[in-house]
Amino acid sequence: MGHGGMDHGEMDHGEMDHGEMDHGEMDHGGHGGMDHGGMDHGEMDHGGHGGMDHSGHGGMDHGGMDHGEMDHGGHGGMDHSGHGGMDHGEMDHGGHGGMDHSGHGGMDMAPGGIALAGGGEDRDGLEMDVLHLPLGPVLPFWPAGLVLRCSLQGDVVVDAEASVVDGAGAGGPGPGPAPAAVVWCDQVMALLALAGVEDAAACARRARDALLHGDQGAARAAAERLHRTIRRSRLLRWSLRGVLPLDPSDLEQHGLPRRCLGDAHDRLLARLERIRAEAGGAEPVPVEDAAVPWAVLPELVTGLELASVRLAVASLDLDPHPAVQAVGHG
């Protein structure tokens, strides 16, 4: 490698992620005249550099480098940000012999400005590309404002990170608090739409509209019809069974309210019962006002396939900006 005359001044290599780089047998001879002043190699991790030859660095000026917290054991955590948004996550640099790094222009690691997918170990132990895909904050049939940054291998979520835009519970400038049953209808509608039962989803939407307009008769009819359709649909049960099953110990572990018990289909039926009771004019069902904490979501969805993640999220009545709760507490 000929780095003669390079000026790496002001480079910020903090948090580079060169995981799985193999710099074995590299020959760094001939770096004459490099000026590495002002580099910040904080948190670099240089593992596997066996056989490197750094002889012949005459005239290099490493003054001002900050190698604090370097860990020469495996290249985790480096970040070449400052190189135009490149993401070198988990690239394999093995076998780059003879590359010319001068000016950092010769390597097209990010065609079109998008980083290549890095590799990662799949469940079966083979390497598989990792794609980063944010779900939300705006997505059809998704809790508004919730962002789930997923790392995907194929369509399996191997890692996730949840956040909420504009802070949780801030209560946006919405049209005001909605009755609980209306929100339930919306959530049922989202789950049904994701499962692909369009007629039933349309029915849930009509029930919601009727509730909003105060048309109790129409709401009751729609709720009854919906309940009947859902209970009778064996295909829907087949599709939702076993999606995010939660037993009492899971609820306790994640701090979830009791209404989350069972799998997606159980939760759907339970919510339909509540809508039916509400629309039927029965005395208001005592509602646990414990919100489902969105922060536990990554633990719940990691390891699920993307479609299951969507169904699972829709089956929990997540409400990052709870308009309903505002009634009770405001």
Partner 1 sequence: MAESVVTTVPGGWAVLAGILLCGLAFFAVALDAALSARAQGTGGGWGAPLGRAARLLRQRRRSTVAADTLLWRIGGAGMLVGAFLMIAVIPLGEWTLADLDVGVVWFNTVDVMVWALVWLAGWGANSAHGLVGGYRFLAHGLAYELPLMFALVAPAIAAGSLAVGDVAAAQDGVWFVVWMPVAFLVFLIGVTGFSVWGPFTPALAADIGGGVLAELSGVDRLVLQAGRYLFLTAGAAFSVPLFLGGGAGPVLPGWAWVLVKTVAVLAVLVWLRRKLPLLRPDRFMEIGWMVLLPAAVLQDLVVSLVVVWKG
Contact positions toward partner 1, by CB under 8 A? Answer: 111-114, 131, 133, 139-141, 152, 154-155, 193-199, 202-203, 205-206, 233, 235-236, 238-239, 305-307, 310-311
Smallest distance, partner 1 to C-beta of residue 307, A: 6
Q: Closer CB to partner 1, residue 70 or residue 114? A: 114
3-state secondary structure of 83: coil
Say if CB 20 and CB 75 are below 8 A apart. Answer: yes
Q: What is the distance, to the nearest Å, from the Cα of residue 167 to the centroid of all Cα atoms in its chain?
A: 17
The residue among 35 and 159 lying less far from partner 1, judged by its C-beta, is 159
Q: CB 78 → partner 1: shortest distance, Å?
A: 24
Structure tokens at 116: 């290549």
CB 314 within 8 A of CB 190: yes
Of the pair 168, 192, the CB lying nearest partner 1 is at: 192
Task: Write down the least CB distance from residue 202 to partner 1, Å.
Answer: 4
Nearest approach, Cβ of 264 to partner 1 (angstroms)?
12
Contact between 35 and 11 under an 8 Å Cβ cutoff? The reply is no
Distance (Å, whole) CA 25 – CA 53: 8
Q: How far is the CB of 85 from partner 1 (least distance, A)?
A: 12
Of the pair 242, 328, the CB lying nearest partner 1 is at 242
For partner 1, give the closer residue by CB, 8 or 225. 225
Nearer to partner 1, 268 or 275 (CB): 268
In whole angstroms, the minimum distance from the beta carbon of 87 to partner 1 comes to 14
Residue with tokens 């509730």: 211
How far, in Å, CA of 180 to CA of 211, rounded? 10
Q: Are 285 and 259 in contact, with CB atoms under 8 Å apart? A: no
- What are residue 120's phi and psi, to 5 degrees? -160, 160
